[in-house]
A and B are shown apart, each in its own frame.
Chain A
Amino acid sequence: MSPHSPTLADVLDGKEVVICAGSGGVGKTTTSAAIAAGLAARGLKVCVLTIDPAKRLADSLGLDELGNDARRVDPRLFEEQGVEITGELWAMMLDPKQTFDELISRQAPDEESRDRVLGNPIYQQISGALAGSQEYMAMEKLFELHTEGDYDMLVLDTPPSRNALDFLEAPRRLTQFIEGKSLRVFMKPTGFAAKVAGRGATVALSVMKRIVGFDLIADLAEFFNAFSGMVDGFQARAKRVNKLLAAPTTCFLVVCGPQGEPIDEAVYFHRKLVEAKLPFGGVIVNKVHYPAEQLRGDDEDLPATLAEKLGDADLAQRVAANFADYQALAERDARNIEHLAREMRATGVIRVPYLDEDVHDLAGLAQINRYLFATGEERVAMAAGRA
């Protein structure tokens, strides 16, 4: 809260990738879009990426639809809201299946291998439908865009998974999944592999056939065989994705809400980031109830004071009761944020207030943007309606 605490612009100075992480429902998408807009207003060419079937980013940016290609957001839209975009703001909403298809096309050694994978029924099911593939693809696209180097800054809004950690494991799981090495070896029980694999594996396989059914195992084998020839490429790629995540030019921002549960999750997530040696940049708490300033112990007289000013004792009573409820929430938020800052050893937790208006359009986004890039003192002044 000190005026010397770093602002968001300081934290992001010199970064190339910003990853907004946190559990669902804490305003990650809006925050990502507001950060991207703020950086574009500071002259950078920025692209914000989201994987979100609910099309929230498109809503936030006032775009009708987004696709797998980046679209430039019309700077005039922001100008109307008092934000001058001197750089460029681009936005992309990923289609996980399309991203996966593109990845396969790029990695396949030849057209035949590519078609074999794309045409495989298991691939078709898992690439689009199953939970989990979204995380894989978010990291993939981020890496691809970073490699192409067309933008000064990439802002990733992580998928809305319940567990914010899912996507941290994505590169490793992607490799593991594509590899299928052990399975392919075991699938040729008559050949050389069977001799190498030994009896234990053969028994394991026969047990698995009983549970899973031979049909599925055979299909899986065909699926993984189709991937052969791409494995090395995928492994190398996953390594580079991991390197990008841990690079000093990358910055993880933890986004959360002020209630006990989101705060606990943010603390947990921060710990995991530190354990994984990933660069933690700071924490943003959304929808905070700011406490009223400068109350000089005249709270007890408040109903009377209000009654006198309003000439309506009943209304005064209700205004006072409502105020007490609000102050209780503000105290809770302050307590939770203090706990959060202590646990993370974070200086300058960015607190975005619970705004009177529901944030769903560019006006709301511009307002969030002003809070995000302000100093702690400026935020307090803004929340009190003085700036």
Chain B
Amino acid sequence: MIVTGKGGVGKTTLSVALGMRAAAEGKRTIVCEVAAQENASRMFEHTTVGFHEVELEENLWAISIDPDDSMREYVLLQLKVRAMRDMLFRSRIFNYLAAATPGLKELVTIGKIWELAQLDRKVKSGCKYDTVIVDAPATGHGVGFLQTPRTFANIARVGPIHSQAKTLDNFITDHDNTGVAIVALPEEMPVNESAALERDLVDEVGVAVDRIYLNGLYPERFSKEEAEKLVPLAAEDGAPRAAARAALSEFGRARSQRAQLARLRRRVQAPVKTLPFLFEPDLGPEAARRLSRRLS
């Protein structure tokens, strides 16, 4: 399951929540954080997640996929001989190629995701996972990221890179085993972008978009009549005024968000699932856990 969407929409929290959900269902699950930012490890206090599989709780694992480490691992798997790999990494030509070829980082990252999803793991110490959840890079780049294997398959017409890039492309576009979830926010532009993203993902990349999560939906705490009763209070003074203003803005946002939800439903093909706004100071593991309970 690849979780994508624009930046700041809650992809990481949702990825971890999906992971918790799958783990609770008894599936052995790993959450992959892409790029060395370790957002997901914020979600698990006292645990540093790096480029190795860390068990967070029963059935739930995490890894932060660093492209340089992925590259090393990949080359070692290809070469089998550590001395040869070390020589390669010392050589200028290789380092040049690795650093300068745009998209190579993305390719080896997807390669690592593929490796994690294999039942017959290439990494000797690796265990088998039933579910692999990928917290994908923000869009703008999201489509580019998922398209990397095909681009490489086109550049290298034959040879090992071609066949491996082809394998990765098939893996991403395998509708039976790989799904994409888009995370959206109930605001005008994020809704537009999510609809465009779904179109690009389906038409250009050819993946299956399984579900769209509309995150951060405010509860409808007040009815229209109640809001009208609050209007005079908002013109008064002191705490009642501040409280009434807060209530009116909640009412306004909850309403405009419902309108955005309706727009999103009209404009996308995949089913839309809403997730509540979490009124908590920081989105830690408890927030993800509460969200995971809403993901039945």
Contacts and interface: CB of A to CB of B under 8 A. Distances in A.
Interface in B222-268: 222, 226, 229-230, 233, 236, 238-240, 242-250, 252-253, 256, 260
A316 to B, nearest CB: 9
B49 to A, nearest CB: 15
A216 B101 CA distance: 12
Given A200-B91, A207-B84, A208-B93, A24 B233 contact: no
Contact of A358 (B35, B159, B188, B239): B188
A24 B247 contact: no
B9 to A, nearest CB: 6
A131 B159 contact: no
A82 interface: no
Contact of A131 (B103, B157, B161, B249): B103
Interface stretch (B56-64, B115-123, B146-154): B146-154
A326 B283 CA distance: 16
Interface stretch (A85-93, A145-153, A299-307): A299-307
Nearest to A314: B226
A261 B42 contact: yes
B246 A160 contact: no
Contacts of B137: 131, 161-162
A183 B154 CA distance: 21
Nearest to B81: A207
B290 interface: no
A236 interface: no
A126 interface: yes
Interface in A196-249: 200-201, 203-205, 207-208, 210-216, 219-220
B238 A186 contact: no
A216 B159 contact: yes
Given A129-B144, A214-B159, A216-B156, A305 B139 contact: no
Given A207-B88, A312-B229, A130 B102 contact: yes
Contact of A260 (B96, B238, B282): B282
Contacts, number: 247
Contact of B189 (A24, A159, A214, A360): A360
A56 interface: yes
Q: How large is the interface on A (under 10, 10 to 19, 20 to 34, 35 or more residues)?
A: 35 or more
A180 interface: yes
A318 B221 CA distance: 7
Interface string A11-27: 00000000000011110
Contacts of B92: 182, 201
B145 interface: yes
A163 B138 CA distance: 9
A305 B238 CA distance: 11
A323 B155 contact: no
Contacts of A4: none
Nearest to B281: A332
Contacts of A319: 222, 230, 243-244, 246-247
A325 B148 CA distance: 43
Contacts of B236: 309
B240 A302 contact: yes
Given A56-B189, A162-B141, A211-B75, A204 B221 contact: no
Interface of B: 6-9, 12, 35, 37, 39, 42, 75, 78-79, 84, 87-88, 91-94, 96-97, 99-103, 106, 137-141, 143-145, 147-148, 151, 154-162, 187-189, 192-193, 196, 221-222, 226, 229-230, 233, 236, 238-240, 242-250, 252-253, 256, 260, 279-283
Given A132-B103, A176-B100, 5 more contacts: A126-B101, A131-B144, A205-B93, A213-B158, A312-B229
20 contacts: A24-B140, A25-B6, A125-B151, A130-B144, A133-B102, A176-B96, A176-B99, A179-B100, A183-B96, A210-B79, A210-B160, A211-B75, A216-B155, A216-B156, A216-B161, A260-B282, A262-B8, A329-B279, A332-B282, A356-B252
